Amino acid sequence: MGQPGGYAYRHRSRLSIIAVKTPSSIKVHITRLEMTAPPKASLPVPVNIQTAIMRAPGIPLPFYRYLYRQVGARWHWVERLRLSDEQLTAVLHDQRNDISVLYVNGAPGGFFEYFRQDEETIELSHFGLIENALGLGIGKWFLLQSLYAIWTLNPQRIVTTTNNLDHPRALQLYQMFGFSPISTGEGIVRPLSDKELLELAKKG
């Protein structure tokens, strides 16, 4: 019985050492884009795949965090994961904010989120697919549906941002559907530490 106890103690010690490790920050090149007219493209619904896009007013925090992590882990999305429950609730349940979830063959496959900055401008703040929806040929179709949904609100412009950590074809795809770059800049992304990941796991 002595060995297991000793091992557990050493194992906890290693965890505590790992938890204080701070990941290196990543420099990113940011491109801000806008579109001032609805997209002219038209794409058919993907065949042999069951899809549904549903608005999610009052989305539960654990479900949102799940979507955010599943979509954004590959692209270093971290900002929303650092918010407390109270802070995230304030953001998500703001009446100017809107979230819609894509379902593919019955399972969550991605989401898009937009924010009404004012009467003229709406920001497409988040867009992406979960891994189970990749490779099915629905990315372009889903982005087009997202843009159609926003344009029904009759804004003067839609804005969004992308950076060099996003999907390699993200900038090209946005431009394909009518976005134009309007500015660039530099930023810093600080990946989640092991301690933050552990705290996030406790939130569910």
* pLDDT tens track for 16-72: 444 456 678 889 899 999 999 999 888 888 888 999 999 999 999 999 999 999 999
E strand or H helix at 180:
strand 180-189
Work out the pLDDT band at 11, boundaries 50, 70, 90: very low
Between residues 109 and 21, the one the model is more confident about: 109
pLDDT of 8 higher than 60:
no
Work out the pLDDT band at 13, boundaries 50, 70, 90: very low
Instruction: For 47-95, list the strands marked E by DSSP.
Output: 51-55
- For 173-184, write each residue's pLDDT tens digit: 999 999 999 999
Query: Mean pLDDT over residues 72-87, rounded?
Result: 93
pLDDT of 14 higher than 80:
no
pLDDT of 6 higher than 80:
no
Question: Cα separations (Å) of 39 from 74, 157, 174?
Answer: 28, 12, 10
Per-residue pLDDT, 152: 97
- For 186-200, write each residue's pLDDT tens digit: 988 887 778 877 887
Q: Give the chain's length.
A: 204
Per-residue pLDDT, 174: 94
Say if residues 203 and 85 touch (Cβ distance below 8 Å).
yes
Predicted TM-score (pTM) of the model is 0.83
Count of H-run helices and E-run strands, the chain: 6, 7
Phi-psi region of 102 (alpha: psi -120 to 50; beta: other; left: phi over 0): beta
**In 10 A of CB 28, how many CB atoms?**
16
Work out the pLDDT band at 120, boundaries 50, 70, 90: very high
d(CA 86, CA 93): 11
Per-residue pLDDT, 4: 40
Say if residues 186 and 39 touch (Cβ distance below 8 Å).
no
Per-residue pLDDT, 173: 92
Per-residue pLDDT, 15: 43
Ordered strands of the 97-104 beta sheet: 51-55, 97-104, 107-116, 121-129, 157-163, 26-35, 180-189
